């Protein structure tokens, strides 16, 4: 369980990035964290991992307060950062040096990932491509089996087959005791993986809801011509007509489109908030 209550934070005085932020994330889910540039996705991860401290409010991750950085907390959370440095050592040495900090690290699991990636433990990290290095770091994070796993833009630098591989491996590494949060701009990379969805807005949460809740309240689809029968929240001209996100009062089934959901939230934030204000998930966010 991750719980943020009335959290405020800013890098400069008088310019808060978050103000009165409330958010609760439960174990057993892969949360997708979306937001425009500068909304604070990476900052939120640093707050959750204790690398930054809130100026007001409280943060609790499991039984721990992150800013205290207690050893028991650090060994039960792993952060895959967007930007990283890998040492000039062999993969085996990297594992041997870092695995002891994580009591539930599974070497057999890690060996399976290395094989899956088409690599060997004898290879030097500095001889790998950026995408290969990232896959080793992702695999290591999965193999720690920490209760909390944070991934900041993990699909950046991965080719199309690797993105499919990433989705499959992450889905197979989550259980009811683990909370995974993935921050991304590449929303199409994570279709059918992330659920619930959290979208950040300026200083707070614009939306937090499950895929089921979203598709119950919103309809995603294509229409040949725009019509007045649907209350459109976002319209995009595409080949053959228009892709729209519309209100869904009749509960018509449709398939969630993450990119267009994000655009709808940016276009009609007040209406989105109103539509989901009765949702227990958002009310308890």
Domain shared by 78 and 182, yes or no: yes
Q: Identify the CATH number of the domain in which residue 77 sits.
A: 3.40.50.300
The token pair at 268 is 């009609």
Domain shared by 234 and 193, yes or no: no
Residue finishing a domain among 209, 236, 265: 209
Residues 6+ apart with CB under 8 A from 233: 218, 244, 245, 246, 247, 264, 267, 268, 271, 272
Note the pLDDT of residue 122.
97
Domain shared by 98 and 145, yes or no: yes
pTM for the full predicted model: 0.91
Number of domains making up the chain: 2
Domain shared by 19 and 47, yes or no: yes
Around 42, how many Cα atoms within 13 Å sit in the side-chain half-sphere? 12
CB atoms within 10 A of CB 61: 22
Task: Identify the bridge partners of residue 64 per DSSP, sorted by sequence position.
Answer: 61
Residue finishing a domain among 159, 189, 209: 209
pLDDT band at 192 (very low <50, low <70, confident <90, very high): confident
Task: Identify the bridge partners of residue 165 per DSSP, sorted by sequence position.
Answer: none
On the question of a cis peptide bond just before residue 196, with omega within 30 degrees of 0, the verdict is yes
Q: What is the side-by-side strand order in the sheet with 218-223?
A: 218-223, 241-247, 232-238
Domain shared by 137 and 45, yes or no: yes
Residue finishing a domain among 189, 209, 229: 209
CB 104 within 8 A of CB 146: yes
Distances 33 to 2, 3, 40 between C-alpha atoms, Å: 14, 15, 10
> pLDDT tens digits for 12-57?
887 889 999 999 999 999 999 999 888 899 999 999 999 999 999 9
Note the pLDDT of residue 8.
94
What number is the average pLDDT over the span 85-95?
96
Which domain covers residue 32, as residue numbers?
2-209
| Helical residues (DSSP H) of the chain, grouped into ranges | 41-48, 71-74, 91-98, 107-116, 130-144, 160-172, 211-217, 258-267, 269-276, 280-283
Please give the helix or strand (H or E) that residue 179 lies within, else none: strand 179-183
What number is the average pLDDT over the span 209-238?
90
Location of structure tokens 């659920």:
195
CB 2 within 8 A of CB 60: yes
Note the pLDDT of residue 240.
86
Whether the per-residue pLDDT at 284 is higher than 70: the answer is: no
């Amino acid at each position: 369980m991750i719980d943020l209550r009335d959290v405020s934070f800013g890098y400069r005085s008088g310019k808060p990035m978050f103000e009165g932020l409330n958010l609760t994330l439960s174990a057993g889910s892969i949360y997708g964290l979306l937001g425009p540039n500068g909304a604070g996705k990476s900052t939120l991860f640093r707050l959750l991992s204790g690398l930054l401290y809130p100026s007001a409010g409280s943060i609790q991750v499991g039984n721990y307060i992150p800013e205290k950085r207690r050893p028991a907390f650090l060994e039960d959370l792993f952060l895959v950062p967007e930007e990283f440095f890998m040492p000039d050592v062999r993969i085996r040495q990297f594992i041997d040096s870092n695995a002891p900090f994580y009591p539930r690290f599974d070497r057999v699991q890690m060996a399976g990932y290395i094989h899956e990636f088409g690599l060997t433990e004898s290879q030097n990290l500095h001889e790998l491509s950026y995408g290969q290095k990232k896959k080793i770091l992702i695999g290591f994070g999965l193999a720690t089996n920490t209760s909390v796993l944070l991934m900041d833009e993990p699909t950046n630098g991965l080719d199309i087959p690797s993105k499919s591989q990433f989705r499959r491996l992450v889905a197979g590494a989550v259980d009811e005791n683990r909370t995974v949060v993935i921050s991304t701009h590449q929303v199409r990379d994570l279709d059918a993986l992330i659920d619930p969805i959290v979208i950040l807005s300026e200083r707070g949460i614009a939306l937090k809801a499950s895929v089921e809740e979203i598709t119950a309240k919103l309809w995603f689809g294509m229409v040949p011509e725009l019509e007045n029968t649907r209350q459109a929240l976002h319209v995009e001209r595409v080949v053959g007509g228009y892709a729209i996100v519309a209100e869904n009062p009749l509960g018509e089934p449709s398939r969630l489109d993450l990119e267009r959901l994000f655009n709808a939230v940016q276009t009609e934030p007040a209406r989105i908030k109103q539509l989901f204000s009765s949702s227990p998930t958002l009310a308890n966010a």
